[in-house]
Homo-oligomer: A and B are copies of this chain.
Amino acid sequence: MKEFNLISRIKSGITLNDKSLIKGIGDDCAVIQESNRRLLVTTDAFSEGTHFKRKYFTPSQAGAKAAAVNISDICAMGGIPRYMFVTLGLPKKDSGAYAESLMSGMIKYAENYGVVLAGGDTIRSEKIFISVTMIGEADNGFLSRSGARPGDRIFVTGCLGDAKAGFEILEKKGNKNLKDFEVLPVKKILIPQPKFAEGRLLLMSKCVSSCMDISDGIISDISRICEESRVGAEINAGLLPVSPSLKTAAKINKKHAADYALYGGEDYELLFTVPESKLKKFARFMCGYGLTFFETGKITAKKGVRVIKDGRTIKENYLKAWKHF
């Protein structure tokens, strides 16, 4: 919490008006007043080379995405993101304008989700990294990975595979002169939109047995739900929602859109399960909110993850999963 002049400088322009944050930057610790609530805390690090490349991420986008992946973790549990604490690793040459732009991009993005920067530290490092600790509130229970039971249906909140296609486009041609079908995939990898409203509604529906966000791809992530819930899963590749943009991108690359949807990561959609007995109640509850949910498979008593594709069942090898950049 020391030597964070950079943040102080940026924050001096921002008015803090958060009654729970009794002390922010400027003391040994931030002080948060919470009465009778549960807190959700998550830590995710975001680094140059592994999670972003500066040749096509602006500093502001890199900062925003580091906040986004942490906000997404809070959303995946149905919580309300509130405070973030940031450690910034910086090469000497980037400690001026680059760092200011990164932090101000991060702060502005986070504000859209009601998140306040409450503290941080900077250190010298050879490559840029952004380590974020995000604190959120769980005011009315929370969703977890461990409640899936055999027979539960598996859902996702939106199209999968776009982020992977966006990644390939950026690697191949960068962020300039994008064709129409390239815009959405590139936006999805550069500026993810955590599913805040969706997470809150899934929690409020009281119909959801397990939930997480898709950061490593549906196959890899459903296997985590299976592990925590001690069950297995069947994913129907034909039911995975894919965007028209992804279909075009896949076709040009002579690949199958379903493979992007199955193994591509970083879409930050929510992956959740609903017991069969609650499907009607769930549909009734969600009706009218204008959100879409796609059923893509079911939980099984038999362990392991299997994919049904073109009528055949394939046992999945998780090692195929998305390995970020």
Is A59 engaged at the interface, CB distance under 8 Å to the other chain?
no
Q: How far is the CB of A249 from chain B (nearest CB, A)?
A: 26
A109-156 interface with B by 8 A CB criterion:
118-127, 129, 131, 133-136, 138, 142, 144-146
Is A38 engaged at the interface, CB distance under 8 Å to the other chain?
yes
Q: Are A213 and B125 in contact (CB under 8 A)?
A: no
Is A42 engaged at the interface, CB distance under 8 Å to the other chain?
yes
Q: Are A228 and B26 in contact (CB under 8 A)?
A: yes
Q: Are A47 and B123 in contact (CB under 8 A)?
A: yes
For A49, give the chain B residue with the smallest CB separation: B124
Residues of B within 8 A of A136 (CB): 29
Q: Are A33 and B43 in contact (CB under 8 A)?
A: no
Q: Are B215 and A2 in contact (CB under 8 A)?
A: yes
Give the complex CA separation of A45 and B27 in angstroms: 16
Q: Are B89 and A29 in contact (CB under 8 A)?
A: no
**A interface, by DSSP: helix, strand, loop or mixed?**
strand
Residues of B within 8 A of A46 (CB): 123
A53-89 interface with B by 8 A CB criterion:
73-74, 76-77, 79, 83, 85-87, 89
A28 and B74 in contact, given A2-B215, A35-B35, A45-B87 (Cβ under 8 angstroms)? yes
For A79, give the chain B residue with the smallest CB separation: B29
Is A50 engaged at the interface, CB distance under 8 Å to the other chain?
yes
Is A178 engaged at the interface, CB distance under 8 Å to the other chain?
no
> Could you mark each residue 5-37 of chain A with 1 if its beta carbon is under 8 Å from any beta carbon of chain B, else 0?
000000000000000001100111111111111
Query: Looking at A45, A129, A138, which has the most chain B CB atoms within 10 Å of its CB?
Result: A45
A223-275 interface with B by 8 A CB criterion:
224, 228
Q: How many residues of A contact B (CB 8 A)?
A: 66
Q: Are A39 and B32 in contact (CB under 8 A)?
A: yes
Is A182 engaged at the interface, CB distance under 8 Å to the other chain?
no
Q: How far is the CB of A325 from chain B (nearest CB, A)?
A: 11
Give the complex CA separation of A24 and B123 in angstroms: 27
Q: Are B123 and A83 in contact (CB under 8 A)?
A: no
Give the complex CA separation of A129 and B85 in angstroms: 16
Interface residues of A (CB under 8 A from B): 1-2, 22-23, 26-47, 49-51, 73-74, 76-77, 79, 83, 85-87, 89, 118-127, 129, 131, 133-136, 138, 142, 144-146, 212-213, 215-216, 224, 228
Pull 5 A–B residue pairs with CB atoms less than 8 Å apart, ordered by A. A27-B145, A31-B38, A39-B39, A50-B123, A50-B124
Q: A29-B74, A41-B85 are in contact. List 20 more A-B contacts (CB 8 A).
A: A1-B73, A23-B142, A26-B146, A27-B212, A28-B40, A28-B76, A28-B213, A29-B79, A30-B40, A30-B42, A31-B77, A32-B39, A32-B41, A34-B37, A39-B39, A41-B118, A42-B119, A43-B133, A47-B89, A50-B123
5 nearest A-B residue pairs (beta carbon): A133-B133, A29-B40, A87-B131, A28-B73, A29-B42
